[in-house]
Every structure is written in C-alpha cells, then in structure tokens.
Structure 1
Amino acid sequence: MRWGRLGDRLHRAALLLAVLAAVVCGLGIAALTWWLLWLALGAKAETPNQLDLTKIALAVAAGVGGAVALVVAYRRQRDLERGRFAELFGAASRQLGDADVAVRIAGVYAMTGIADEFRSPSRRQQCVDVLCAYLRLPYDPVAGANHLVSQAETVDESGLKVERVYQFRQNDREVRRTIVQVIADHLQPSADTSWSDCEFSFTNAVIERADFGHAVFTGRRISFARALFIGRTCFEHAVFAGPHVTFRDAVFEDGPALFDHARFGSTRPEKARRAGDGTTFDGAAFDGSVSFENATFVGPRTSFAGIRTAGPRTSFQDTKFHAELTSFERATLDGQHLAFTGAEVSSPRITFEGAQFEAGTVAFDDSRIGAPARMRNRGTRETDFSRAEFHGTTTFARTTFAGRFVDFTDGDFFGDISFVDTRFNAGEVNFDRPRAWVGTHFDWDDIPTRKPANIKPNPWPPEQYDE
C-alpha cells in the first residue's frame, strides 16, 4: 500500500516538474525571441499602458496554458502506450506458455511484432529477453518433435505401484526453430527493424541447427555460455561488436561449427572496462569440425583456454588475433588435423601454456606469432608455449616468431616436430628443460654451431629433464 502511494506521489511530482520545465522553457524562448527582435529591428521600449499590460498578461497566460496542455497530453499518451504495451505483452506471453504448438508459434510472432512496433530500447529488450528465455527452458532434443502432451508411466517404489505423469511441450522443436530464425532475421544488416543493439542471453540454451550467418551483434553483452548447439552451427561472416562476447563451456555436437570470416570484439574505448570483457570460448567443446578461417579477433582479450576439439578438422587458417591477450592455455586440440596455417597473432601477450597438440597433423606453416616493437606499437612481450605438449606430426615451416621472448620451456616434444625453415626473430627463444625431446628437427641439426645466438639453451640440444 505504501509503495502504491509513493508511486502516485512520484508520478504527480514528475508531472509537476514537467509542467514547470515547460513553462520556464516557454518564458525563456519568448524572452530570447523578444531580445533578438529588439536587437535586429532597433525597437525602443515604451512604457506600456494598462491595456497593453492586460494583453501581455493574457498572452503569457495562454502560452503557459498551452504548454501545460501539451505536457499533460503527452503524459496521457505515454501512459496509454504503456498500458497498451503491457496488454499486448501479457497476451503474447500467455500464448508462449500455451500447450498447443500452433498457439506458441503465434505467440513468437506476436512478441516479435511488439518488439518491432514499440521502438523504445527497454521495451524491445524486454521482448527479446522473453524469446531468449524460452530457449533456456529445459528441453530434450530427442523428444523435440514429440506429438504427445503428456505421458504416464508406472514405477515400483518400495513395493508400491506409483503412476507418474510427465508433461510435454508438444512439438517444441518447431517453436524453438521459429524463435532462432526470427532473432537471426532481425540481426541481418538488411533487416527492416534491427535488434542488433539488444543484449542476448542464450546461457544454458539448447539450439538446433543454428544459422546466424552475417548476423550483427552490437549489444554490450552477448552470452552463449553453456549453450548446447546441435547439428550444423553457422556464424559465418557474423559480427560481434560488443565489449563482452562469451561462448564459455558451450558444447557443439553432431555437426560442424563454422565461424569463417567472423569478427569478434570492439576497438571502441569503453568508459569503464569490466572484468570479463572480451571474447571467450573458455572450456568450449567441439566434437565435430570447427573453422575460424579468416576470422578476426580484437579487443581486450581473446581466450580459448581449456577448449577441447576432437573433430576431423580444426582450422584457424588465416585467422587474425589482434586482441591485447590471446590465450589457448590448457587447450586440448585433438582430432585428425589442426591448422594455424597463415595465422597472424600480434597480441602483446600470447599464451599456449599447457596446451596439448594431440591432433594427427598440426600445421603452423606460414604463420606469424608475435609482433616486433615499432613506433606506436608495443609489440609482443611474451609468447608462452611452456609445458605445451606436441605429439604426432607438427610443422612450423616458414613460421615467424617475433617479439621479446618466446618460451618453450618444460615442453613435451614426442613425435615428428619440425622447426625447419622457421624464422626465430624474437629477442630470445628458450627450449630449456624439455620433458621429452624425441623427433624434433631444426635447420642446424647437422651443424649445431649454426644455431642462432638467441636460441637457448647453450650447449645445444637441450637435455631432457627427468622429474
């Protein structure tokens, strides 16, 4: 009750302030206009008589009354719009909760129409939040096309027969696909009404055969954390221009994940950078092929820490990593083929610490890892491959290592690992204390004295460190 009275008082106070502001602005504009005319026309003020004063007073009163009427009419119209939004929003929400699949699909389009009609950012965001929330509801992909509304089963509990009834959202797969398609359509550059500046939370959502190709996300927070992607997933040519993008612990199953030519991160200076800003795929798991070919990463950080790949092909070919931090720390890169061919990693700090390169073939050919210090460019301070594990066939042909320091200490080199034709342009490159040193190849293998002075340790080759 108190809150209701307080709300009424605040509403009246706001209306009073709006009226006073309108009156003051009106008087100010009138005074400014009179002063400008006086300057322009050189008019001289004469002492007004009683009739003139009466006319002026009536004119001022009429102007104030008009301003008050406009403010009141505006506030009344706004309140009507609020009521209409609440009514339409409530009706669409009820449709989304209906048991009938056709009604729920109609609810998706009804909520979409409300978001398009009411262009206020807060109201559009409210509609988008409801659609995203639907995708976060518990969902069993196996029963996604189930035509049943409920199913009963009898179980034996302590010798007693107990009947349990399970409720289903009938044919929920179609509803969810409709939601994903509607959102993707409104994120296209050619969309009549764009939702790109909204925030999207798909945390814990289940998304089947997602196609966000060419989508543009500019909202501050875009989250696919712990989302489950099933089937072919496409983010080709997508743009993630907001300061916070996360696919943390996302799982990609039963199909390829395509991020070719995508762009991640924002180079705009943020007034207050928050912890966690940047692009994160930490802990993501890909059981099929995954491709970031020709993708670009900028911003405060790009992190693939702890990711797991196991598909036929994992490709970062020609990918550009320009964020302040690029991390593949503790990543497990398995499968048949891993390609960093032609990649460009120019971050001030780069880390592959503890990464496991377990794929059958690993290619860093023609890549550039680290940036030299130049004017207005701090360069790369450190490239960290410490405790990394290289198994299988790995090549660094024509790879360029630059920056101040490249650290391969405590590495595990066991397989066919070739640094032949590698350009070690960094200030220092350290291969000290390897846990295993089997099958490694360098240009100076036959003549160790040709080893560049910036390659450590001395003498060469490194001695295997037994823990």
Structure 2
Amino acid sequence: MLTLLVSLVKGPPLAAEELHALEVGISFRSRRQASQGRYTPNLWPVWVVAPIALIVTGVVGWLIYEYAYDHFTEAAARQRPPKPADINDVLKATVTGLTLIGAVLAGLYAYRKQLLTEGDAHRADASQLADRYTTAAEQLGHEQAAVRLAGVYAMASLADDWSEQRQVCIDVLCAYLRMPYASEASDPLHRSGEQEVRQTIIRVIRGHLQDPDLPSAWCSYDFNFAGAVFDGGSLSTSHFQGVTSFFGSTFIGGSFSFRGATFAGTVNFGRVTFDGGKVNFANGRFTDGTVSFIRTRFLSGTVGFRTARFEGAVVDFGRVTFEGGGVDFSGAAFSAGAVDFRNAEFRAGTIDLHGARFDGAAVFFSRATFTGSSVSFLGAAISGSTVYFHDAAFTGGEVTFADVGYFRGDVLFNSASFGGTLIDWGPLLPPANA
C-alpha cells in the first residue's frame, strides 16, 4: 500500500480526479491483501485421519503400558516378601496417561480454533476499515464541499481507529492540502467551499497534535505539506516530532499561527514564500534536530518569532531573502545549537532582534547583505555566544546595537563592509573600517 503513495509523499500536487483514482486503487489493494492474510488450512479427509489417529493412540497406549508395567514390577519386586505387579494399577496408569495426552490435544485444538476465529475477526476488521477508507476517499473527491468536509472527518476518524495505516490516512489529508488551490472566485482553479474544507483539515490535524501522550495522537508521524498554499489557519501549540516538511509552500494573506508550537526532529521550511498576511511563531520551541528555512522568501507581511525558543537545534536561514516585510525575533532565546543566516539578504525590511538572548548558540550572519533595512539588536543579551558578521555587507538603512549586553561572548565583523549605513554601535567596539 505504501508503495502506491510515493507520489502523494514526494511527487507534485495531484488533481482531484488523480487523487480519487489513486485512493480507490489503494483501497482495492488493501482489501485484497486483507483477504490474503490467513486462510483456514486444508484438512486431511476423515477416512485418512481416523485410522492414523487409532494407530497412534494404540502405539502410545502400548508404550505407556510397557513403561508402567516395568515400573510397577520393579516396585513390587523390592517389597518383602516380593509380590507380583498389580495389573489393575498398570491399566489405571495407562488410562490416566492417555487421558492427560487427550486433554493436552484438546487444549491445542481449542487454541487453534481460537486462532482461526481471531483470524476471521481480523479479516472482517480489515475489510471494514478498507471499506471506510474507500468511502472517505470518495467523499474527499466529491464536487460538493459539504461531502468533502464529511470525508475529512471520516478520514481522521479512520486514522484514529486504524493505527497500522494511520500514516497513510495522514498522507492523504496532507496530499489534499498540496493540491492546486485558488482562493479567488475568478480563478479557474477555484472551487466553491474549498477554503472551508482546507481550514477544516488544518483544524483536524492541529487537534491531533496537542497531546503527544494520547493514544490517538499524531505527533510522532510525518507531515508533508510541500508546495501547499495556506491563506490562514492555525497549528498553534502543536507538537511536531516526526519529519515535517513545508518545502516550497506559500503563505499568502490572512493569518497563520504556529504560536507555542514545538518542532523537534527534522523540520523543513526551505524555499517557503511568506507573502502578505501574518505568520506567527511566537513562543514556539525549536528543539534538537534540524530546522531549515534555507532559500525561504519573506516578502510583504510579518513573520513573528517573538519569544520563540531555539534550544539546541540547528536552525538554518541560509540564503533567505527578507524583502519589504518584517521579521520579529524580539525576546527570542537562542541557546546552544546554531542559528545560521549566512548569505541571507535583508532588503528594505525590518529585522527586530531587540531583547533577544544568545546563550551559548553560535549565530552566523557571515556574507549576509543588509540593504536599506532596519536591523535592531537593541537590548539583546549575548552570553557565551559568538555572533559572526564576517564578510557581511551593510548598505543604507539602520542598524542598532544599543544597550547590548554581552558576557563571555563576542560580535565579530571581520572583512565586513559598511556603505552609508547608520549604525549605533552601543557598547560594541566599531571595526576599523566602519
């Protein structure tokens, strides 16, 4: 089943008809595999089994009788005066042995019968789950938005009940978000009620990412939103513990919230476009693992990381373009790990790092370009960290390091260039070429 979903996980967005056809094929294969799970074994004919059973019983009985006879004969011979073996005791021992063997065989037969019964039950469950999958998939591909909404809830409910294929159900919901989408009614790709369907999927996913300890939680599963278009929604306070990809996705208009979300493991925001609206990562936690924003474009609108915590993670903003919009890292905490802005381009935007805390993290602005931008480190605290501006280029705009406090840390500007930029160095020692 998972082989058929490669295009859902890694491929380009699918049309509704293609998704529907693929899901039906997956469902058919699921049911076929379920029917091939366990079969009732072929039994030998009675006219063969009965004589063999009689012969085996006779041989076993004779062996038990011989063993019992020898045992009782030896025991009787040791008595004083010696006595002959009691044949009744020998027969009783033989019957008792055969009865015990029969009881064990009966128990094995009952156990085997129970296994077959459970196999039937499992096949019935698998068939029922496959039928539910087919129904949910058909609903997701329906023309009417109300039916598609029902399909969203049906697929989510199935994911809760079908732990073996939960990732498959999640992949289908993510694939729906990756399909072509247009919010404007004049666009040929526009579908009536589609925004509500997509918002519902986001709400359903968020609802399953709130408590990692719940049996039905989806926190440890993978989410592939690559290439999706988001025009609002919320994944706030969610826990992402698997592989999460927003690679190439677009956030346009509206407001999208990751407020208080926890990102662990591998998180990819590479080549994402933040264009208009507001995307909020405030109070988010980026722990362990790797978080990549490489080649992401921050255009108009605001992206907020206010009071976010980057704890031990490697956060890569390499080759990111900040153009015209605002990026707010005020009060953010960078502890351990590394934050990399190498080769980033800051153009006519606002980058706010006032009050940020750099505690043991290595921060790289090497070869970054600041053109007509407003960059603020006002009141930032640098403790045990080194902030690198090697080969950075400042052209126009304003940069302030006022009230920066640093202890056992350093801010380095080796080979940096400053052309017409108004810089408030605060307590920092300006480089010779500033």
Distance 1:170 1:416 in 2: 47
Task: List per-residue Cα deviations over 1:363-384 (Å, max 9, x = no partner).
Answer: 211211241xxxxxxxx4x421
Q: Distance in 2 between matches of 1:96 and 1:8?
A: 23
Quote the residue 1:58 is aligned against: 99
Aligned-partner Cα distance in 1 for 2:382–2:195: 49
Map 1:95-134 onto structure 2 (within 5 A).
96-97=137-138, 99=142, 101=144, 106-116=150-160, 118-119=161-162, 121-134=163-176
The aligned runs of 1:108-187 (5 Å cut-off) are: 108-116=152-160, 118-119=161-162, 121-142=163-184, 176=198, 179-187=201-209
Letter aligned with residue 247 of structure 1: F
Q: Compared with structure 1, are the counterparts of its residues 144 and 171 closer, same or farther at alpha carbon in structure 2 (3 Å cutoff)?
A: farther
Deviation of 1:93 after TM superposition, in Å, equals 1.4
Aligned to 1:249: 248
Gapped regions of structure 1 (runs ≥ 5): 16-45, 147-165, 198-216, 266-276, 372-379, 445-450
Partner residue of 1:387? 367
Query: What is aligned with 1:227?
Result: 228
Higher relative contact order (CA 8 A, sep 6+): 2
Matched to 1:352, the amino acid is F
Do the aligned partners of 1:302 and 1:323 also contact (CA within 8 Å) in 2? no
Q: Distance in 2 between matches of 1:81 and 1:169?
A: 40
Matched, 1:239 2:242: no
1:409 and 2:430 aligned: no
Q: Residue 364 of structure 2 contacts residue 388 of structure 2 at CA under 8 Å; is this kept in 1?
A: yes
How far 1:10 moved relative to its partner? 8.7
What letter matches 1:283 in structure 2? R
Q: Does 1:367 align with 2:356?
A: yes
TM-score of the two chains, using structure 2 as the length reference: 0.67
Q: Larger Cα Rg: Structure 1 or Structure 2?
A: 2
Which residue pairs with 1:319 in the alignment?
308
CA distance in 1, matches of 2:166, 2:227: 25
In the alignment, the residues of structure 2 paired with residue 105 and residue 420 of structure 1 have an alpha-carbon distance, to the nearest angstrom, of: 53
Q: CA contact under 8 A between 2:378 and 2:403: conserved in structure 1? A: yes
Following TM superposition, by how much is the alpha carbon of 1:115 offset from its aligned partner in structure 2, in angstroms?
4.1
Q: Does the 8 Å contact 2:355/2:381 carry over to 1?
A: yes
Q: Which amino acid aligns with 2:423?
A: T
Could you tell me which residue of structure 2 aligns to residue 272 of structure 1?
none
Q: Cα–Cα, structure 1 residues 104 and 431, in superposed 2: closer, same or farther, change >3 Å?
A: closer
Q: Between Structure 1 and Structure 2, how many residues are aligned?
A: 350
Q: Share of identical aligned residues, percent?
A: 29
Cα displacement string for residues 214-262 of structure 1 (whole angstroms, at most 9, x for unaligned residues): xxx222x2222222112x221221121x142222222111212211111
- Once the two structures are TM-superposed, the CA of residue 345 in structure 1 deviates from its matched residue by 0.6
Q: For the structure 1 residues 190 and 227, does the alpha-carbon distance in structure 2 shift closer, same or farther, using more than 3 Å as the test?
A: same
Q: Secondary structure at the residue paired with 1:366?
A: coil
Residue 351 of structure 1, CA deviation: 1.6
Specify the SS of the correspondent of 1:341. Answer: coil
Residue 293 (structure 1) aligned with residue 273 (structure 2): no
Cα–Cα, structure 1 residues 90 and 262, in superposed 2: closer, same or farther, change >3 Å?
same
The CA deviation at 1:132 is 4.0
Q: Deviations over 1:416-457 (max 9, x none)?
A: 21222223435543212223343122236xxxxxx6xxx6xx
Match of 1:344 in 2: 333
Please name the residue that 1:85 is paired with: 126
**Residues 257-272 of structure 1 mapped to structure 2, 5 A cutoff:** 257-265=256-264
Partner of 2:54: none
CA offsets 1:36-56 (integer angstroms, 9 cap, x no match): xxxxxxxxxx99843234224
**Structure 2: segments with no counterpart, 5+ residues:** 1-31, 44-74, 77-88
Q: 2:26 aligns to what? A: none
1:435 corresponds to which residue? 417
Task: Return the match for 1:354 from 343, 359, 363.
Answer: 343
CA contact (8 A) 1:355 1:387 kept: yes
Q: Is the 8 A contact 2:175 2:225 kept in 1?
A: no
Give yes or no for contact 2:178–2:225 (8 Å, CA) kept in 1. no
Higher helix share: 2
Q: Indicate which of 89, 96, 115 corresponds to 1:74.
A: 115
**Kindly tell me: are residues 142 and 92 of structure 1, through their superposed partners in 2, closer, same or farther at Cα, counting changes over 3 Å?**
farther
SS of 1:75 mapped into structure 2? helix
1:97 aligned counterpart, secondary structure: helix
Contact 2:367 2:390 in 1 (8 A): yes
Counterpart residue identity of residue 409, structure 1: H
Check conservation: 2:132, 2:158, Cα contact below 8 A: no
Q: Which amino acid is the alignment partner of residue 229 of structure 1?
A: F
Cα separation, partners in 2 of 1:106 and 1:262, compared to 1, 3 Å: closer
Counterpart position of 2:8 = none
2:382 and 2:409 in contact (8 A); partners too: no
Q: CA deviation at 1:88?
A: 5.0
Match of 2:266 among 264, 273, 278: 278
- Please say if 1:332 is aligned against 2:331: no
For residues 132 and 297 of structure 1, the distance between their equivalents in structure 2, rounded to whole angstroms, comes to 22
1:439 maps to a residue whose letter is L
Separation in 2, partners of 1:435, 1:60: 92
| Aligned 8 A contact 1:333 1:358 in 2 | yes
